[in-house]
Amino acid sequence: MKRQNLKRKRKLISSISDIINSVIPVFSSWYFYLGLISLIAGMELTFASQTYLYNYTKEGKILPMLSDIILDNLPFYDVALFYDLFSFVTIIVVIIYIVHKKDYKSIPYFLLMFGIIEIIRSFFIIVTPLGNPPMFIGSHTLFNAFSKYDLGEYPSGHTGSVFLCLLMVKDRWYKWIILFCLVIIIVSLLLAHAHYSIDILAGLLFAYAINSFGNKYLKMFKLDRLCQLSDADLKPPVT
């Protein structure tokens, strides 16, 4: 029994050591910090754009609502919890995927892609200031802390971010899990009248375009594709 416990401890220590040794080169890379900065910038810009719309409405101005043939024919259900919950589940699934597949060197690329989609979304929130669909009553109280204002329709951040995860993970089973989450999110967004159908479609298209752009022009952030890099090699080239 003692031998088994000793073996388990050694195996655990070995696993932790492997993770640390795999993560250290990533944290030593300037690409990691560039990806992190882009994510933080995207989140801040999204918050700023939502704040802009909030102040816009506080001045007595009205945000336009769209006529949506899908929403007009869908009954309202208070299922706001589901699209936030399954978005959170997707984040957990991606983290498990990275650890399980030891795909730590993809972290900078993941951070960058999430940052880019948020930056682009913040821009379109300003230039297409749409009001919330009729009957939308707001996000579930459990997730209200993640977004101060329920504003900013186009494109759908829930849909775009989760579809981006689906495109970036490589394992088939993880793709199926994220696809399941994506379907639940889209259905619940429509049933809760939280987004127009054009917002959801735009979220999918934006995510696909950003991922295609990243695969073509931002491969240097995919550190897992580079072989036996030293810390100096992980730094961006000086121009």
Contact between residue 157 and residue 133 where contact means Cβ atoms under 8 Å apart: no
More reliable by pLDDT, 141 or 67 = 67
The phi, psi pair for 216, rounded to 5°, reads: -90, -40
15 located within any domain = no
Query: How far is 158 from 31, CA to CA, in rounded Å?
Result: 25
| pLDDT value at 237 more than 80 | no
Please give the model's pTM, rounded to 2 decimal places. Answer: 0.82
More reliable by pLDDT, 125 or 239 = 125
- List pLDDT tens digits, range 83-96: 889 999 999 999 99
pLDDT at 222: 83
pLDDT at 144: 58
Q: What is the mean pLDDT of residues 28-54?
A: 91
9 located within any domain = no
pLDDT at 132: 82
Burial of 201 (0-12, 13-18, 19+ CB in 10 A): middle
16 located within any domain = no
Question: 20: closest CA among 102, 121, 140, 95?
Answer: 102
146 located within any domain = yes
- List pLDDT tens digits, range 96-151: 999 888 888 899 999 999 999 999 999 999 888 888 888 777 676 666 545 666 77
Q: What is the mean pLDDT of residues 78-83?
A: 87
CA 196 to chain centre: 19
234 located within any domain = no
Query: How far is 179 from 166, CA to CA, in rounded Å?
Result: 7
pLDDT band at 230 (very low <50, low <70, confident <90, very high): very low
- List pLDDT tens digits, range 167-219: 999 999 999 999 999 999 999 999 988 899 999 999 999 999 999 999 999 98
157 located within any domain = yes
pLDDT at 21: 64
101 token code pair: 């597949």
Q: Which one of 52-66, 151-165, 174-188 scores highest in mean pLDDT?
A: 174-188
Q: Where in the sequence is the domain holding 36, given as residue range(s)?
A: 24-225
pLDDT at 104: 87
How many domains is the chain partitioned into structurally? 1
| pLDDT value at 69 more than 80 | yes
64 located within any domain = yes
**Contact partners, residue 141, CB within 8 Å, separation at least 6:** none
19 located within any domain = no
